[in-house]
Structure 1
Amino acid sequence: MQLNGVHLNHCGVNTMIKECIILLFFLSMSIHLWADEPRSSNMNIWTENDDVYVLHTHSVTAWTIRKSELKVIDKKNGSEIFRAETTPFTKLVPVDGGKYFAGFSDLQAGSLPHGYNFALFTPDGEFISRVYVSKKTGHCDKVSQSVSQYLRWFSKSPNIKLAKDENGSIKSIIVSPLYYESSPCKLPIGDQLVKLEK
């Protein structure tokens, strides 16, 4: 066989084809691995009720959390009621008319060191629930999850209902799901954490 004036024997062509296939395989693997690197996020979000502002800021690069902080500020005098390091939330919403607040995160890598991607807390900073939601935990019917980048489980405008007993104590938290046709996510009270092992 001749290619551009160069004589190639049958064995040489087969070897070149095999080497090209191997090279393409490794290139595709490296592109795939690069594509699933944990995503970075820099965010400042807030919500409020009649009395307080709830502020959250985070800076996350892949698995490294540079900063992730939650603050509650009194509207009347501007004083800080509460401050804590938290998982990097990507959404904050008032719950039950502002009696509570909920923080949600779809950052899988950023949430795992803290062990939760949902929190329900009071305006004075008491955590009622901190839960890690994923395909494996069984809190939601359907979860869209990559290997390390994202974990989508709540709707863009999550609706939250609190299931209470006859004494008014919260028994569980019902969250509207990511997919319209799915059953609502049912989250427990207390800590249900899934942390990375060091």
Structure 2
Amino acid sequence: MTWRWSWRAATSLLRPSPPARGIAGEGAATACVRASVSVELCETAAMDSNLLFWTAALSNMGMVVVLAAAGVRMRRRNQISRHRRLMQAGSVLVILFLPSYFAKLHFLGRENMDVWSSGAVWVLRFHEVFVLLMLLFGFLALRRGLALARTGNATLDPSDPPAAPERARGHRLAGWMAVGTAVAGLLTACLVLLGMYQRAGLV
């Protein structure tokens, strides 16, 4: 009996507890009751944490757009190495956001969409579409850019073979689409976050 009880106790400690859902549902209330904390105080803390996360996410996306714009400028100046570094830095910021988002879902849960207006929900859906398109076109631009790395288009060395015109056009088109959808995603993210601040009574 003793070893069975010890095994159950150990596995229960290793098993992750359900995350508090903040303002998203019953998870917050249950967690607050177990912790002897008022539901209102717990939900307010979760809301503040969500606002902090999305504010940081907006800053991250703004930096992605700044790096992309600087990368485009470097390409126009034929500074290919700087163009590549800036675009890769923006890609790293995007990649780093993904695990942080899943961690946010685990610890803070989703937002309570029941209190959102239909217009706010539509803005969020447009934002999500722009982000998905940014990821798609960004991946295509990065992949095609790597394929051009050893061509004269990237090295600017006359002795290196030029890239096929369709490959160069494909990279340029994917890059412009990635930048355009990133800008659209940033603008819609500003609207989404503004609505969140308004619902929290902060603006």
TM-score normalized by the length of structure 2: 0.26
- Structure with more strand by fraction: 1
- Structure with more helix by fraction: 2
**Which structure has the larger Rg?**
1
- Higher relative CO (Cα under 8 Å, sequence separation at least 6) belongs to 2
